[in-house]
């Protein structure tokens, strides 16, 4: 993982089955990415950063130079120096001419998941606004946000203590939160894995009948602009219909909806396998 941010220190508590952390912070602004200056990542001296307490986000000692720890060993203090957070602010901005039209697209993406009160939902690389709308409008049994950005996860965790947050790659999500009924691949082009790897990993974590919703509310045209502007974040493309159908069939998914317009992308898969 290369996507972390500068902070002075973190207070830790002893790990349990695996090293985990919970983020608790008090952002200075309503949106985390208002802390970016002209789209540039923050330096260690540009953000008044509060204490973070470890509880539920993924913590990998090897990525920050910490020594290996046993399950029983307490952790004291770890200093973070010169970490750079990728700029994810483009997921929060709406450059469309009509806010109402954009909201309709988001509503269409969310409704495709058919979330119920008993649903166990996972969102991969979702925007803060997208998570806000799901939390505030659709009750579910469990909501897990998987993201490369510790800053995004920290902002979500500060607002919604019940939302589970995990920093790491989608294909390595721990078994403890599975099985899922709904998975939103909100920004698939940010994942450093082939489509076959992604759908194969999800098949191990989904219940029969689970819905996989792949989306981009602005479509391929804007995605290409994002790729040119943010090449370190946008590293793959959205699958075309034939490719998605073939890969989905290999992992026991059925395509039940596909929309690929210049200004909107939506693909919905239904898992037919036995799951776990």
Residue 88 confidence (pLDDT): 72
Cite the DSSP H helix spans in 160-218.
195-203
The share of the chain scoring above pLDDT 70, in percent, equals 66
Phi-psi region of 168 (alpha: psi -120 to 50; beta: other; left: phi over 0): left
Per-residue three-class SS string for 66-84: CCCCCCCCCCCEEECCCCC
Q: Are 153 and 57 in contact (CB under 8 A)?
A: yes
User: 128-167: per-residue pLDDT in tens?
Assistant: 999 999 999 999 999 999 999 998 999 999 999 999 999 9
User: 33-65: per-residue pLDDT in tens?
Assistant: 444 333 444 433 334 333 233 333 434 443 444
Backbone angles phi, psi at 78, to 5 degrees: -120, 130
Residue 99 confidence (pLDDT): 82
User: 69-112: per-residue pLDDT in tens?
Assistant: 444 344 444 444 445 577 676 677 655 557 888 899 999 999 99
pTM of the model: 0.73
* Long-range contacts, 132-138 (Cβ 8 Å, 24+): 132/159, 133/106, 134/110, 135/160, 135/163, 137/110, 138/110
Residue 100 confidence (pLDDT): 86
On the question of pLDDT at 270 being above 50, the answer is yes
CATH numbers and ranges of domains, the chain: 89-271 (3.40.50.150)
216's tokens: 């981009």
What's the average model confidence in pLDDT over 182-200?
Answer: 96
Residue 216 confidence (pLDDT): 96
Average pLDDT, the chain: 76
On the question of pLDDT at 15 being above 60, the answer is no
What's the average model confidence in pLDDT over 183-206?
Answer: 96
């Amino acid at each position: 993982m290369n996507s972390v941010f500068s902070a002075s220190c973190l207070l830790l508590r002893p790990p349990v089955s695996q090293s985990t952390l919970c983020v608790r912070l008090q952002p200075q602004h309503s949106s985390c990415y208002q802390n970016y200056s002209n789209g540039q990542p923050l330096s260690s001296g540009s953000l008044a950063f509060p204490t973070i307490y470890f509880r539920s986000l993924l913590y990998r000692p090897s990525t920050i130079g910490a020594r290996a720890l046993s399950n029983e060993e307490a952790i004291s203090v770890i200093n973070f120096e010169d970490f750079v957070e990728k700029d994810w602010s483009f997921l929060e901005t709406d450059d469309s001419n009509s806010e109402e039209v954009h909201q309709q697209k988001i509503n269409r993406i969310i409704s495709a998941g058919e979330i119920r009160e008993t649903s166990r939902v996972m969102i991969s690389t979702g925007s803060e606004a997208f998570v806000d709308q799901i939390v505030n409008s659709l009750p579910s049994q469990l909501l897990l946000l998987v993201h490369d950005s510790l800053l995004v996860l920290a902002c979500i965790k500060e607002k919604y203590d019940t939302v589970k947050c995990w920093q790491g790659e989608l294909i390595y999500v721990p078994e403890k939160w599975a099985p899922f009924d709904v998975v939103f691949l909100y920004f698939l082009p940010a994942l450093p894995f082939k489509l076959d790897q992604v759908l194969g990993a999800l098949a191990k974590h989904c219940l029969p009948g689970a819905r996989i919703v792949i989306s981009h509310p602005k479509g391929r045209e804007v995605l290409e602009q994002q790729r040119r502007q943010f090449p370190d974040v946008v590293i793959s493309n959205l699958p075309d219909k034939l490719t998605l159908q073939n890969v989905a069939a290999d992992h026991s998914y059925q395509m039940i909806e596909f929309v690929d317009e210049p200004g909107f992308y939506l693909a919905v898969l239904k898992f037919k396998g036995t799951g776990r």
